[in-house]
Structure 1
Amino acid sequence: MELPDMRFKYLKYLAFALGGLSTVIAAGALYLHATFDGLRLAAELTHFAKQRHQRTLRIEGPVELSMFPRLRLQLPAGTLSGRNSTSEFIGFEQASVSVRLLPLLTRRVVVERVEIDGLRMALLRDKAGKLNAADLLGTDDNAPPPSGNEPFDLDIRALVIERGAITWTDERAGRQLALSDLSIETGRLGQTADGRVNASARLTRAEPATDMHLEVESAYRVGESEGPLRLRQLRVTARGNLAGWQALDAESAVSELEWADDGPSIIQGGSLQVRGKSTGGPFELRANAPRLALTPTGPEAESIDASLRLDGKLRGGSVRLRLTDLQPADGGLVGGKLATDLDLRMASGRLAGNLAGPIRWRAASRQLELPSLAGDLNFSPARPGTSLLKFASEADARVDLQRNSAGGHFTLRSEQQQAKGSWTLPRFDAAAIGFEIDVNRLDADALLATQPARGPAADKAENDRFDLSALHGLDLDGTIRFGHLKLAGLKLEQVKLPISLHGGRLVSAGHSLSLYGGSLEGSLNIAADDGRASYRAYLQNADLAPLLVDLGARQKVAGTANFFVDVSSKAESRSSLLRDMQGLARLRLKGGSVPGIDIGQAIREWRGPIGTRQGARRAHRERESTAVGELTASFRIDGGVARSTDLKADSGMLRISGAGEIDLPQRQIDYLTRVTLLVIPLGPDSGPLVSLRGVTLPIRIKGPFDGPDWHLEPGANLPSTVLSAGQAAARSLPRVIPRSVTQAVGRVVKKAVPTPEKAAEEAVSE
């Protein structure tokens, strides 16, 4: 019967004990609050920072103590200087530190929760590679060892940072970046801890231009029995613009990370996914490693997969990589096999195939080597009806991280073609690629031709335009050489084509080639931003007849041509290229012929109109031509119209001068020539022409390029003897010339002057 009384008795003792303990704690808290000296604590913290780390700590006011809702030290704005320096290393607008009560009675501070608002931190690595926070992190060999009398015993239950900003300056690498809008919230931090961390910040950099929003979240565990650090479900996201890549959306994830200082660190289920836009269009990059072991000698992995997909308007496709049997070797790494699958779409066609070979990483020199890649590549030209091109491919590459450069060689072989070349990337941060390529022969018409228009109006306008956007986003310097090149129907040899492409501007200065017994040297300049283009070239001693035949021109002009041109225009479309053309040109033609008319025969037919001062018209005749010993002319081009005032030509029978204009966009010619008959041609009707010797006749050439008409201008100022002879000739002419006479004259003319077709055929056969 005493048990209930005894139970209540023990409860009464427990209540008395708890009440007494509460009284003692309350009394201690009241005593602490009454005797707390915030100025003295700030002074002691300042003294500790100066003596222990040779840094100056400034706290703008006294440290305040609040008892509710928890025991908390409230710090005003403060700064901490660099080691042995007056520059600011860390600053904050305000901070609060929640501490335990009992250790304060022994003048020790045990931190449970830290809240910082407006944190500022300036991290610096100098040219010697030393970090300005090395003494605080315990990695500075010159820093004094801990004395054991530090007033802090960190066992933080939570860390909260709002509105933070961190700058990072690397003087050795010449890089600088900044983190702003920094927000961090963690669980417990200490030698043994288990919690979660969430962080976000804005990353900015001036060069290359970077503006990214970052987020990190993960669960973590720190404990001596289970290793120093373990992360679970780690996720890092980044969104923004980075070095020319726009609208990036990147996410990296790790299922589990076990980090060990002595043994291997294991990464399970690592993956990376990046989406964004570059100058070439949208792209997507993916990579994953099922298991990656970071050993003291290097990483080990059975396989690592990566893929890149491009969805640009001009360039697209995919590249897939698979690396197997990665392991440490000779102070570096070796990969048993790196397999590459390509499927790329370009304006000229589609490239597909595979390359495979070993891979090696040399840690001492920080070089990544691909000594021998081999495989097969297939190219399908965009032009319908062309055959598939198959190449056996060999390549090698080297990436030098110490010099931030890369380079390599390649060889492509097919049944009829072979291309060899090399490439270099002098600097990673400025992706300007250098190259040298030698091709034995190439049919560019089959590779560059686009598909025919689908409709008459809209598709014609679309095909007429030049898309210069492909010039953006590329930095190239190099030379391409062709032994034989077919382009626009022309057969070119010994082509040397220097290329420089930077900032959307393409320059080919000093290109040269041989064609049709002659040579050409020139310079080309195209700017993608404003669409301006300029070209300067000099063609020497080219056989004009076969050149025009291969171009598909109807006018079969024969002779040896020298031609100089210096023009500029808008390269927005084919029509604007001619319509806006400005510049000058000079032409010299030797030993040739002008098609469409036999001047001697025309004068015979015009004897009547000449005598009566009447005009006459003679249509273009395909089978007629006039031999010319030498023809020269210079042109001033304005708005696509070439005007000339100094046309000169001569042969044994004629002397010609003239002036006029050629409308390039409309393909029209309007030229007034003055033809002087120097020698009377032999023939049955040459007698009446004697009076025309030395007389200048105005003849206008007018009409389309392919077949202009020839007009005898009316009212020619002729001597009276010429007029009387012409009138007599007109009266004596029969209405119909006998057929036997015309046939005889035709045979004589054919023997004396070859037709343009015959001249062209003889030139081609030669």
Structure 2
Amino acid sequence: MKVWFKRGLFSLVVLAIVTVVGGAIFLLTFNPNSYKQKLADIVQQKYQRTLKIDGDIELSLFPRIGLSVQGLSLSDRNSEDPFASLESARFAVALWPLINNRLVVDHVAVTGFKAWIVRDEEGKLNFDDLLQAPPAGPQLPVARSGVSLLPAAQAAEAPQEKPVEPAPESLPVPELIAKRSGSETDFQIDIAGLSLKGGEIHYFSKRSNVIGRLLQLEVNTGRMTFGQPFDVAFKSRLSGDYPVADGVLEGQGQLSLDPASKSYSAQKLSLSFVGDLDELQAQSLTVKGNVAYKSAQRQFSATNLDTQLQGQWLGAYPVSDLNATLSTPKMQIDSVSDLVSFEKLALRVRGKNEDQNLDLALDVPRIQVSPAQAEGSPVVASLKVSGPRVLGLGLTLQGLSGNSEELLFEQAKLDGAIKQGSRVAQLKASSLMQWQPSNEWLRLPEIQANIRVEDEADAGSRFEMPVTGQADLNKGKQHYSAQLSSSTEQAQGSLDVTLQDKGKGPLLDAVLKADKLDLDELRSIFWVTAPEVVPATEPEPQAEAPEVAAEQEPAAEGGEQTEQQPKAAEADAAPPAEEAPEETTSYAWLDKITFDLRFEIEKLRSLGVVMDQVKAQVKNQGQLINLSQFNAQAYEGQLQAKAKVEPGKRFEMDLKLQQMQVGSLLLDAFGNDYLAGKGNVDLNLKAQGNTQEERLNALEGGLTVDLHDGSWRSVDLDQSVRDINEAVRNAFSGQIPLLLPESDPLRRTVLSRLQGSLDIKKGQATFRNLRATTPILTVTTAKGSTLDLVTQHANVTLQARLNHNNLAADERKSFQDLRNVLIPIHISGPWAALSYQIQWKDIASNSIKKALQDGLLDLLSQQVSEAKTESRPDVKSEVKEIIKEELGAKVPQTVGEAMKQWFKP
């Protein structure tokens, strides 16, 4: 026994010595760096990628198999662009576990890892080929202990005696690992831990143009084994170009990877982000819970999910003090099997927008959808906006049935209310709802709605509008349509709307047919904020100053007043130019949509104007809006209009009135029938500019008028001529009638016929001709008579000649001094306060000149002096107030104010 023991012991010692010496000789003679090129050739052959190792490869065998490498990089497939690189990597493998078919890696340390991930237009990632086994190639010998790269490299260079049969199929690498570990060697991989420092992951999606990166990435894990959870903690800086992102991203949890079944999960997950993400400024964004994903079934599930957000939103509708939560104890989405399940899903969003508080809530108690059936509890959502204006919306979906192909809700109910001041508007709507998620198709076939508006301050003020119809919203085909109808005292008609996209952008097609439509009444009901035209009397104090000056200054100083007043008006017109930047951005949405709107209305009331048998069509080409047709019957005549408008830039308009009562039109439209009569009016205007002032200064066009049996408010020329005649005849007696120099709304010139035309250029209207016939006069204009449309001032000289034959027999003799005499009357000042001055010195009459020399001029000067001290009631203001009360103060009181509205952007 002792001999055998000694021999056995001696053999073991010899074996140990041989092993140590052999290992020493191997370490001294073996150079792993000589296999760099061989490894690069294998990678190029199997994956068409370029592998570079710029540093040294270091190998150790005792007490563990250790490998370290530096300066490693791998390119994209068939490209020189980098896919991944690392500065250094180091790991060690225990020897004894290899005997038991276990690969135990002591620790993996990686420094400076970088990866560039790209998703192409079809959604494929640039590393998908690495997750697939090579489709064909030589089968490399595999060591019994598992995977051995260096012997494989040697075998790659050795001559092959027999042709190698290709693999029967190409399986993903995880499946190959699972197949090999389960059926061949039961091989297991166990990594004691992984630490990664100074990592970067760059991502670019050609499909969505998303560009982002993770910088300063640090990852630390616990013991890693496939199929078993292990601890993971990471920290990185998230940076993005599109969308813009900059913040710190941290996370930890228990990660489980099972490549065999393609299952991945994270338990006790805790993610946090602080920073900017697109238009979101996140002071704190956290996600906690348990999540799992099975890629083979495309199944996502989560339990105890809780998301918290605090920050602010900087979008078009900014929200500060933003607080949002999303939580659910259980949810599951299975794309392959069409399974969706939610339990107690709750969303809450709160925040502030300027002086308004926002509150959004969504509750999904329970929903289960499968290919067999769909069931669940009612889904409830609500939105509340409180502040100066209170808004509330509530949506309820109940009675769920159907299946994953088509969901049916017995009732989709929408309740809404808006309140400002004492006025409250309410909306109640409901319908059966059909939804096909896969086709993105939503139908509301039985819409029943009611709109109610009432004023709490006025118990009798209440309005209700019932609306019925249907809607078909097909996002899959980019086709949306709705048919609505209503019948009330203010609106009786139907609206057919279609929005579709055939590859050239959205096209909106709408047809409105109505027996009756009162837009003024509807605007007064639904316009919660008072219209801008209500405070039209505020600018009047600025216009009164020139009016007072016109009354106080003598007639000889009229020219000086005319020069001063335009300067004041130009100063007032300057501020609107500051609004130019807003105009350029307000209508950008017109470039993204094309619309064709048609109207057929039997009776229409808008802006005070009443029209019958209205037919109109409005189209657009980008930001150019084209009113190609507008025909109507109104005020005993016909109205035709065409227009082209590019909001904030330019416009063109052609308006024709045929055999129309112009006075009734002006009275309803502007609240003042300063010109009346029946006949024809042709108006064409065009202008361009970025501001209202620029457009007025560039205004061009013309106006032609031919009216009969009409009148002109603010002056009575016939009576003025009679007063002139009396003044001349009674100059010697010292008693002459009062010759009013200012405009008087109570006075009116009766016109038998009025014919005239204006040429408009650069905002200045010049009289080409004017001829008006009154019962006793023929009136024309002198050369140089103009209207300044920019400053809204007049500089017109009328020439009145007595129609001696139209006088009564007893009057002819008394008017003998004015026979064949041309009487010039100069009209000047702002349109709101015109001044009428008789040019006495320009009257070619010997009797009048003699009367002026004999004291008439002194009497006229005395009238002006008495007007300065005499306190007379403001008849014009009183008449304005009466007109305003009669018409509800809904329109401007002067032509100038009306034209200001036309030229607003």
When the two structures are superposed, what TM-score results if normalisation uses the length of structure 1? Answer: 0.71
Of 577, 581, 584, which aligns to 2:700? 584
Q: CA RMSD in A?
A: 5.4
SS in 2 for 1:718: coil
1:57 matched to 2:54? The reply is no
1:166 matched to 2:206? The reply is no
User: What amino acid maps onto 1:299 in structure 2?
Assistant: L
How far, CA to CA, are the matches of 1:496 and 1:382 in structure 2? 34
Among all aligned residue pairs of Structure 1 and Structure 2, give the percentage whose two residues are the same amino acid. 12
How far did residue 215 of structure 1 move? 3.2
- Of 344-353 and 557-566, more deviation after overlay is shown by 344-353
Is the Cα–Cα contact under 8 Å of residues 688 and 726 in structure 1 kept in the other structure?
A: no
How far, CA to CA, are the matches of 1:419 and 1:251 in structure 2? 48
Q: Deviations over 1:161-193 (max 9, x none)?
A: 5341423344xx474534252625252554134
Of 664, 669, 674, which aligns to 2:799? 674
Aligned to 1:82: 76
Superposition pairs for residues 125-204 of structure 1, below 5 Å? 125=120, 130-138=124-132, 150-151=147-148, 155-156=190-191, 157-160=193-196, 162-170=198-206, 173=207, 175=209, 177-181=211-215, 183=217, 185-188=219-222, 189-191=224-226, 192-198=228-234, 200=236, 202=238, 204=240
Count of equivalent residues: 682
Aligned to 1:37: 31
Q: Deviations over 1:348-381 (max 9, x none)?
A: 9966545564343353xx4343454745464659
Of 488, 492, 501, which aligns to 1:415? 488
Of 560, 566, 575, which aligns to 2:686? 566
How far did residue 713 of structure 1 move? 0.6
How far, CA to CA, are the matches of 1:565 and 1:481 in structure 2? 24
How far, CA to CA, are the matches of 2:138 and 2:429 in structure 1? 59
1:229 matched to 2:264? The reply is yes
User: What amino acid maps onto 2:672 in structure 1?
Assistant: R
Is the Cα–Cα contact under 8 Å of residues 661 and 669 in structure 1 kept in the other structure?
A: yes
1:702 matched to 2:828? The reply is yes
1:291 matched to 2:407? The reply is no
Aligned to 2:771: 649
Q: For residues 44 and 557 of structure 1, do their structure 2 counterparts lie closer, same or farther at Cα, with a shift above 3 Å needed?
A: same
Q: For residues 334 and 114 of structure 1, do their structure 2 counterparts lie closer, same or farther at Cα, with a shift above 3 Å needed?
A: farther
Q: Deviations over 1:462-512 (max 9, x none)?
A: x9998867657785542455535544333356364647697xx68455473
Q: Deviations over 1:612-642 (max 9, x none)?
A: 9x9965554524323052332325465xx64
Is the Cα–Cα contact under 8 Å of residues 103 and 189 in structure 2 kept in the other structure?
A: no
1:258 matched to 2:329? The reply is no
Is the Cα–Cα contact under 8 Å of residues 802 and 819 in structure 2 kept in the other structure?
A: yes
Is the Cα–Cα contact under 8 Å of residues 725 and 817 in structure 2 kept in the other structure?
A: no
1:626 matched to 2:756? The reply is no
SS in 2 for 1:278: coil
From the two aligned structures, give the one with the greater helix fraction.
2
Of 354, 357, 361, which aligns to 2:436? 361
How far, CA to CA, are the matches of 1:312 and 1:379 in structure 2? 27
How far did residue 550 of structure 1 move? 1.6
Is the Cα–Cα contact under 8 Å of residues 476 and 499 in structure 1 kept in the other structure?
A: no
Aligned to 1:278: 315
Q: For residues 599 and 51 of structure 1, do their structure 2 counterparts lie closer, same or farther at Cα, with a shift above 3 Å needed?
A: closer
How far, CA to CA, are the matches of 1:471 and 1:344 in structure 2? 29
How far, CA to CA, are the matches of 2:608 and 2:455 in structure 1? 17
Aligned to 2:88: 95
How far, CA to CA, are the matches of 2:240 and 2:59 in structure 1? 38
How far, CA to CA, are the matches of 2:740 and 2:714 in structure 1? 13
How far, CA to CA, are the matches of 1:317 and 1:513 in structure 2? 46
Aligned to 1:268: 303
1:220 matched to 2:336? The reply is no
How far did residue 80 of structure 1 move? 1.6
Aligned to 1:737: none
User: What amino acid maps onto 1:670 in structure 2?
Assistant: N
- Of 115-124 and 252-261, more deviation after overlay is shown by 252-261
Aligned to 1:602: 720
Q: For residues 93 and 524 of structure 1, do their structure 2 counterparts lie closer, same or farther at Cα, with a shift above 3 Å needed?
A: same
Q: Deviations over 1:429-449 (max 9, x none)?
A: x99684536374233541346
SS in 1 for 2:842: coil
Q: For residues 320 and 498 of structure 1, do their structure 2 counterparts lie closer, same or farther at Cα, with a shift above 3 Å needed?
A: farther
How far, CA to CA, are the matches of 1:239 and 1:389 in structure 2? 49
Q: Deviations over 1:124-183 (max 9, x none)?
A: 4365x654322211288679999756437864422525341423344xx47453425262
Q: Deviations over 1:655-678 (max 9, x none)?
A: 412444445677553321223345
Superposition pairs for residues 367-382 of structure 1, below 5 Å? 367-372=440-445, 374=447, 376=449, 378=451
How far, CA to CA, are the matches of 2:140 and 2:802 in structure 1? 113
Is the Cα–Cα contact under 8 Å of residues 725 and 818 in structure 2 kept in the other structure?
A: no
When the two structures are superposed, what TM-score results if normalisation uses the length of structure 2? Answer: 0.61
How far did residue 558 of structure 1 move? 0.9
Q: For residues 435 and 186 of structure 1, do their structure 2 counterparts lie closer, same or farther at Cα, with a shift above 3 Å needed?
A: farther
Is the Cα–Cα contact under 8 Å of residues 607 and 726 in structure 1 kept in the other structure?
A: no
How far, CA to CA, are the matches of 1:141 and 1:702 in structure 2? 95
Q: For residues 75 and 195 of structure 1, do their structure 2 counterparts lie closer, same or farther at Cα, with a shift above 3 Å needed?
A: same
How far, CA to CA, are the matches of 1:523 and 1:686 in structure 2? 54
Is the Cα–Cα contact under 8 Å of residues 455 and 462 in structure 2 kept in the other structure?
A: no
Is the Cα–Cα contact under 8 Å of residues 286 and 308 in structure 1 kept in the other structure?
A: yes
Q: Which runs of 5+ in 2 are unaligned?
A: 1-15, 150-187, 373-402, 543-571, 857-882, 888-905
1:543 matched to 2:661? The reply is yes
Is the Cα–Cα contact under 8 Å of residues 220 and 232 in structure 2 kept in the other structure?
A: yes
How far, CA to CA, are the matches of 1:169 and 1:723 in structure 2? 93
1:450 matched to 2:529? The reply is yes
User: What amino acid maps onto 1:436 in structure 2?
Assistant: A
SS in 2 for 1:634: strand
SS in 2 for 1:279: coil
How far, CA to CA, are the matches of 1:35 and 1:616 in structure 2? 128
1:522 matched to 2:643? The reply is yes
How far did residue 90 of structure 1 move? 1.4
How far did residue 603 of structure 1 move? 2.0
Q: Deviations over 1:79-119 (max 9, x none)?
A: 32333x13324132513232325389999995842424151
